[in-house]
Amino acid sequence: MTGGTDGGTRATTRTGRPLACVVVNPSKPRVTAAVRSLLEGELREAGYAGPVWLETSVSEPGTMQARLALAAGARLVVAAGGDGTVRSVAAGLAGTGAQMGIVPLGTANLAARNLGVPVGDARAAAQVVARGVDLPADLAWVRTEPWSDPDVA
């Protein structure tokens, strides 16, 4: 996702640094204190305030947390988890023009792989999140309903 529809004037912290928020799936055992520390260090070194950590839950898998991050004025929202977390955070940011980063911590990490985000190397992924290039991403909404044909036996 690319930078803001607000012309890049989204709120900054009192320090004048843009705010970063991380939406993290706490059920991922790879989200260790070391990974958190690594991501915090990379974001701060890149000039971000925070990050503010927002945990997902079964009932709130990331969409609400992404919207809360935007309401707090975040310029960057990072999805740290698997494909479900990435999908939910993207849904929360859809249409806002907000920047989104991915730290793949899931099993398949298909979204990260397809977008060229380093998988299996948290340091490299954190560096891309903190210093990567904005690339636009298209989102599609798909709804399916059960099909039934009364003529089929």
Q: What is the pLDDT along the chain (153 residues), one digit of tens a residue?
A: 333 334 344 555 667 899 999 999 988 666 677 889 999 999 999 999 989 999 999 999 999 999 999 999 999 999 999 999 999 999 999 999 899 999 999 899 999 999 999 999 999 999 999 998 887 777 777 778 887 777 775
Structure tokens at 110: 């298909």
Written as one letter, the residue type at 52 is V
What's this model's pTM, rounded to 2 decimal places? Answer: 0.82
Q: Could you count the other beta carbons within 10 Å of the beta carbon of residue 145?
A: 5
Sign of the Cα torsion 34, 37, 42, 43 reads positive
Instruction: Give the tens place of pLDDT for each residue, 118-149.
Output: 999 999 999 999 998 887 777 777 778 887 77
Q: Could you count the other beta carbons within 10 Å of the beta carbon of residue 129?
A: 26
pLDDT at 7 (0 to 100): 39
pLDDT at 114 (0 to 100): 92
Written as one letter, the residue type at 79 is A
